[in-house]
């Protein structure tokens, strides 16, 4: 991260330096000069992480007001904070920049910084697969460039500006993840990122409760183009019917990619061995063989678009494909390992109908001499069609002959088991409503040589079954 001057921060967020202390005194010229010499290289929203070179950004939330922690950050050496409270009691030695809204101010600072950056930024959004695609693209691009990427999944109205402020000119290119959960979010963050190109992985049912329909989700995701210049390229997944039928914004060039069908960039000769995909990727006039080390047939399209983007920026395809093969995934996202003779598929990070089916496909493709067990919890934020979407998973399980036993956890997940049992009465399993009963059920069910999938929304906390086992 580069150093930011106090003047830059004040000008970027249209802030006002507060000068009246609680004892009636005002900031003097010496203190003003000291203030000008402060260099900020850390933008902090968590008081516990504040330090000497931090700008503290107190966020006012539904439950907590971080202005209450300004004393704490002062004790940690921080000497500069934003504030949206005019009534705040000023501490001598602490410098306060007044703004109308601290989140908006953070975004304005990030936007000003982005305008000064010369490097190319690629934006990634979609209902599922954003973080995996971001990581995979980082590998592909890093075969020839120094690449910045969004840390973890910091893709929100707060996470995106914090991410942008970490970028400096030492990088050649950046990969930025943009996420949404409600109307209006994408336009705000896309206008900060101003991506030079973009990828939309798919349109599913995630956040359908807030966005009402798949069309509403698509329209919100498409606002990533608000920040794109005329002539920019957006890569759309041709395996998603709603994306295939959609028009992009005027002046934006669309390119299609697929893991299953011929289009601008596609894969064929796909072979799955022990859950891992091997295939040929056709990128323009070139063909390259790819072997993945992340599990699931659905990862093929993610790899194809990463190769397409790499080629778009002049990177050798074979080098990019070789680097992609080094990616092995990350914690609680389709991690596969063996414990006590049992093959475990840990995909507990989150769940939607699309990602649930993708995870079940991995369970189906895993080689196993024992029984296959699916431990599935509620999928949240699905709105009025939640029961139907859970029943669809039960039907998918049976029609594709995926699992011998199904254990479900939660009131919504009950519909998975209920549907599966109605279609196949002899299927093994049980449904649970409290965690301890689920834990005992899992312990009693799993035996040596079995394979088991754990999948559910993050709030269901299925990962607790694995972390202390």
Neighbours of 433 (CB within 10 A): 12
β-strand pairing of 4-5 with 39-40: antiparallel
Binding site, residues?
126-132
Binding site for ATP, residues?
126-132
């Amino acid at each position: 991260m580069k150093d930011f001057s106090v003047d830059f921060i004040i000008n970027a967020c249209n802030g006002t330096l507060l000068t009246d202390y609680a004892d009636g005194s005002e900031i003097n010229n010496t203190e003003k000069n000291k203030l000008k010499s402060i260099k900020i290289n850390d933008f902090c929203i968590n008081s516990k992480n504040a330090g000497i070179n931090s700008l503290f950004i107190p966020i006012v939330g539904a439950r907590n007001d971080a202005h209450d922690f300004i004393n704490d950050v002062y004790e940690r050496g921080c000497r500069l904070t934003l504030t949206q409270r005019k009534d705040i009691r000023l501490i001598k030695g602490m410098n306060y920049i007044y703004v109308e809204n601290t989140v908006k101010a953070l975004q304005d600072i990030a936007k000003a910084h982005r305008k000064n950056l010369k490097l190319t930024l690629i934006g990634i959004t979609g209902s599922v697969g954003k973080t995996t695609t971001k990581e995979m693209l980082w590998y592909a691009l890093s075969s020839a460039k120094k690449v910045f990427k969004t840390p973890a999944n910091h893709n929100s109205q707060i996470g995106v500006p914090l991410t942008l402020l970490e970028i400096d000119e030492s990088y050649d290119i950046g990969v930025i993840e943009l996420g949404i959960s409600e109307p209006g979010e994408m336009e705000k963050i896309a206008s900060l990122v101003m991506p030079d190109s973009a990828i939309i992985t798919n349109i599913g049912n995630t956040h359908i409760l807030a966005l009402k329909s798949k069309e509403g989700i698509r329209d919100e995701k498409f606002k990533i183009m608000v920040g794109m210049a005329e002539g920019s390229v957006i890569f759309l997944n041709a395996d998603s019917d709603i994306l295939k039928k959609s028009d992009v914004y005027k002046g934006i060039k669309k390119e299609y990619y697929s893991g299953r069908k011929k289009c601008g960039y596609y894969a064929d000769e796909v072979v799955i061995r022990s859950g891992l995909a091997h295939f040929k990727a056709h990128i323009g006039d070139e063909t390259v063989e790819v072997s993945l080390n992340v599990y699931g047939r659905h990862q093929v399209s993610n790899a194809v678009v990463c190769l397409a983007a790499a080629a778009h920026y002049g990177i050798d395809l074979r080098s990019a494909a070789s680097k992609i093969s080094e990616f092995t995934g990350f914690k609680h996202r389709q991690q596969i390992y063996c414990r006590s003779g049992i093959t475990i598929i840990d995909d507990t990070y989150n769940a939607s109908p699309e990602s649930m089916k993708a995870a079940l496909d991995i369970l189906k493709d895993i080689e196993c001499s024992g029984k296959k067990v699916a431990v599935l919890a509620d999928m949240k934020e699905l709105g009025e069609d939640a029961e139907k979407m859970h029943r669809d998973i039960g039907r998918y399980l049976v029609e594709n002959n995926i699992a011998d036993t199904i254990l479900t956890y939660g009131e919504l997940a009950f519909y998975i088991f209920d549907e599966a049992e109605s279609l196949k009465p002899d299927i093994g399993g049980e449904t649970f409503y409290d965690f301890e009963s689920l834990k005992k059920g899992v312990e009693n069910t799993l035996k040596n040589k079995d394979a088991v999938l754990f999948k559910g929304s993050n709030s269901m906390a299925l990962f607790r079954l694995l972390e202390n086992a």
